[in-house]
Amino acid sequence: MFDSDLMESLSRVHPATPLLIYMPLIAGSLYFAHSRMQYSISLLAELFVLGLAIWTLLEYIIHRYIFHYEPSSRAGKQFHFMVHGVHHDYPNDAKRLVMPPAVSIPLAIVFYSLFFLTFGHAAPAIWAGFAAGYVCYDGIHYAIHHLPMKGGILNRLKQHHLRHHFHDDQTGYGVSSPFWDYIFGSNRR
């Protein structure tokens, strides 16, 4: 995808990388909110679930309106291919299913900052839920493309996402949850 060997190596990520980076940060954020901020377990759980909900909505919005935006300029088309087009052309490339840390870490900092500006001291607990949503998304997305799923909710998620890839890429934008596809009418045409 890149002429530079360095850029090429930075664009390929082992699927366990987000788990290794973010799980300690999620645990630390929850510990901080509980021990330092004195949040009760029930409040912590509510804020965590709020973060998860924010993630699912953002996942849907990014996938629908950014990843499937069709730029008109040559540079825009090249950038779009690097960001998401390569995944649609090579959906089973195991090393290009998760966001590289060089991109995900700055984005995590930006979102933490936005949560702090918006929610104040509740930010660590909300960000923990948001980051957990991202980690689950990456794990589910990898599993959809590389693991057999015979039944249950994971098989339904797989069918939902594979319809997006192989039948109609203008529907089915939710990967870890089809909830927003139902809400916004983008489940099926």
d(CA 180, CA 123): 24
Q: What is the pLDDT of residues 146-163, one digit of tens each?
A: 888 888 888 888 888 888
DSSP 150: -
Q: Is the pLDDT of residue 3 over 70?
A: no
> Which residue from 31, 51, 34 is spatially nearest to 42, judged by alpha carbons?
34
For the stretch 93-145, pLDDT in tens is 666 667 888 889 999 999 999 999 999 999 999 999 999 999 999 898 888 88
Instruction: Read off the tokens for 44.
Output: 């912590």
* Res 1 pLDDT > 60: no
What's the CA dihedral at 176, 23, 55, 141 to 10 degrees? -20
Give the helix ranges, DSSP H, for 62-122: 74-80, 86-89, 101-119
Report the mean per-residue pLDDT for the chain: 87
**Whether the Cβ atoms of residue 173 and residue 186 lie closer than 8 Å to each other:** yes
Instruction: Give residue-wise pLDDT tens across range 59-94.
Output: 999 988 988 778 888 887 777 676 665 666 666 666
Prediction pTM value: 0.88
The structural domains of the chain, with segments of one domain joined by +, span 5-184
Sequence-ordered list of residues with C-beta below 8 angstroms from that of 149, at least 6 positions apart, any chain: 143, 155, 157, 158
Judge whether residue 19 has pLDDT over 90.
Answer: yes
Q: Could you tell me the CA-to-CA distances from 32 to 23, 46, 47 in Å, in that order? A: 14, 16, 13
